Structure 1
């Protein structure tokens, strides 16, 4: 049985539209209005009919899928799930959208790295590697075999104030998301452990938490990041095991935590015996502030990757483990995938040792900085929050705009943006704001025109806005 004409009335459900739609789905399924096997409207069709953004519908579908109410099949659509329980993940980490059929759209949803010669650098490195393969590629990779790359990453991190770091402290991973999951697997215990994070946070945190059967609780943030008093209250209430936060480059608000607050957060983590995940994946500029790991080296897992500074295609990340915990981290990685594939580890080692990685990082940051200045200048009349070198900015919306309304209007004008709702936790609330990512891969004239479009829309909130 299929039903592609379901059109709920969201006015009876208070709160954010995505939560209202999730409740409408839940009640329709439980009331039998949408029996098992019913096909739901496509994201775009339902968004059009309800006058919300596709992101709002997508998020509601994702939440209902997490609850086991829906099942999505690539190429077929989204259906009401059978009553049998689902095992494993029930939704994609992110929703892909093929823009090849919509070439007029400029995508400001996720940072796009500029082409600064990555292909040529990778090709040259591969030629050097291929000249000396030997027998080491004939067997499984090992954690011991990664020792030279771990030593190289210690040098790579010399521009960070991490406290004492040795090669024994490093765990290598398949990107930042994999690093989060490995740390959770290494540290969490019990049936329903609790993870604390910022109340606006990278969605991958809750996905990794779900895989480890953990609950995620949001902690209040302000313009300097996580609020220490709110963190302490959450510790007293929830008995959490892990704290995840981004003090250097908060995603999505672009805030940066000062040294004094970092010290206070570290002291609370020590007092309540929290393991700390310090996510630094987005910061590619040199930092002059001490990291959380430098304050509490015995409990901080510093997570980063090359995805935002060189290329996400490498799927290469790393963790600076707490002092004395490097072996435990590497054993967790070994249980997951033995060690990194030799083509990846050898390529990254060559790029770092040759200096090519550092050159690429400098060129990427220069282009990001240039385009960020264009964005900030174009939106200078508004409260744009940013940091030099970051590949995104945070824009609180002027009075009269709602996040969903603005995103829908911007898409109609050819520009895709992310609203704050996409970073809120499941039971959290989000301000009316946007995260605008730097599109480094499109021609500069298209980029400038898209910024001008956003400025024009921000200046003219709708006079008769649907709430």
Structure 2
């Protein structure tokens, strides 16, 4: 018999970074003070700077070198309020009405909304625990001729797969062979300490590289950086009315992010988020031992197999009754096929470890009932 919790279910369908107020609060306040002291508010707020102010684009170029092998020319940088906003523009401009975007067979659900809005088709590419399967990608390129591939090669959402260097080289070679652009979302890459190099470092001429702060610093900071290929024209792609959305970054967020990048605050926050994520993943291990699941110590989400004798939706509903909201695999299946017998849940949105423990106990109770 299932047990219903008297408290609100712990929100675990999202995969936000955990709160680290002891570090974040002081760093953010200090950075805001620097911004207000060094910038003239009217010059800063009273004008549009669509691609970002010069100093903020330079800071963005510095930020992405945490992953890229060299600092890109800041003229190739675009600042936006999220990778989601960047994707809206890229999909609308480079895939477009009647086009085709290749995606991992399980992926970021909002991509489906972009496809509907912009009138392009999605085609799924098979995955394994090392990410996109090269033969499957080549078959898609031959049969569907996509304009671009959207991929999360590091700690893939939702499956947590990590694309090896050899696999990245194979995917890049296929994209080059068939003239397919790559939209690389590297949003989860700053928490693991050992990660293969980005696809953008292997094929900068075809890769649109995205790195934001939402999954490693704070979801509400709303700062994301796009590095475009050298042959692209960012000003043409990101003109003020593109994508039917306000994609431009708020000047305050850009300024604070720039200060944090330059004074090392962003690294101190990321380090704190990494350590808290590791602690929370250890809680997952302790609470859900014996259950088939995939994650890593620095991953913000867990990919867990549902009980074999129950439907995924029944299991999700039971988790909620007991006090944990988790997401079924079908949420991430955007281009047809059969959803695996899995759920995804995040470890970071719970306000603190005590709340996370309550959620994990609800999941365990539902699984072993």
Q: Distance in 1 between matches of 2:303 and 2:293?
A: 6
Question: Normalized against structure 2, the TM-score is what?
Answer: 0.90
1:359 matched residue in structure 2: 268
Query: Corresponding residue for 1:333?
Result: 238
Return the index of the structure with the highest Cα Rg.
1
1:18-417 equivalent positions in 2, closer than 5 A: 103-117=7-21, 118-134=24-40, 135-137=42-44, 139-143=46-50, 146-162=53-69, 165-189=72-96, 191-285=97-191, 286-325=193-232, 328-336=233-241, 339-417=248-326
Report the Cα offset of residue 220 of structure 1: 1.1
Query: Gapped runs of 5+ residues in structure 2?
Result: 1-5
Inter-partner Cα distance in structure 1 for 2:228 and 2:215: 21
What are structure 1's unaligned runs of at least 5 residues? 1-101, 461-467
User: Deviation of residue 265 (structure 1)?
Assistant: 0.6
CA–CA separation in structure 2 for the residues paired with 1:176 and 1:145: 15
Give the deviation of 1:426 after TM superposition: 5.1
Compute the displacement of 1:441 (Å).
Answer: 4.0
For 1:330 and 1:387, how far apart are their aligned partners in 2? Answer: 39
SS in 2 for 1:334: coil
Distance (Å, rounded) in 2 between the aligned partners of 1:227 and 1:138: 46
Q: Distance in 2 between matches of 1:188 and 1:426?
A: 16
Q: CA RMSD in A?
A: 2.1
After TM superposition, the structure 1 stretch with the greater mean CA deviation from structure 2, 359-368 or 141-150, is 141-150
Q: Greater CA deviation, 448-457 or 410-419?
A: 448-457
Checking the alignment, whether the CA contact within 8 Å between 2:52 and 2:79 is kept in structure 1 is no
Deviations 1:180-234 (A, max 9, x none): 1122233225x40000001111012122222221111111111211111111111
**Structure 1 residues 371 and 145: alpha-carbon distance in aligned structure 2, compared to 1, 3 A threshold:** closer
Following the alignment from structure 2 to structure 1, what is the Cα–Cα distance between the partners of residues 340 and 127?
12
Q: Residues of 2 paired with 1:304 and 1:406: CA distance?
A: 34
**Higher RCO (CA-CA < 8 Å; seq separation 6+):** 2
Q: Structure 2 vs 1, CA of residues 103 and 282 (structure 1 numbering), >3 Å: closer, same or farther?
A: farther
**Superposition deviation, residue 455 in structure 1:** 2.1
Structure 2 CA distance for aligned equivalents of residues 216 and 162 of structure 1: 31
Residue 334 of structure 1: how far off its partner (Å)? 3.3
SS at match of 1:304: strand
1:144 Cα deviation from its structure 2 partner: 6.9
Aligned residue pairs total 356
Q: Tell me by how many angstroms 1:243 deviates.
A: 0.5
Partner residue in 2 for 1:30: none
Query: How far is the alpha carbon of 1:145 from its aligned partner?
Result: 5.7
Change (3 A) 1:443 1:145: closer
Deviation at 1:159, TM superposition (A): 2.7
Give me the whole-angstrom Cα distance separating, in 2, the residues matched to 1:138 and 1:348: 16
Other-structure match for 1:453: 362
> Cα gap change, 1:351/1:433 in structure 2, threshold over 3 Å: closer, same or farther?
same
Within 2, Cα distance between the matches of 1:172 and 1:250? 23
Asked whether the equivalents of residues 365 and 389 of structure 1 are also in contact (C-alpha less than 8 Å), the reply is yes
Q: Give the Cα–Cα distance (whole angstroms) in 2 for the partners of residues 443 and 145 of structure 1.
A: 35
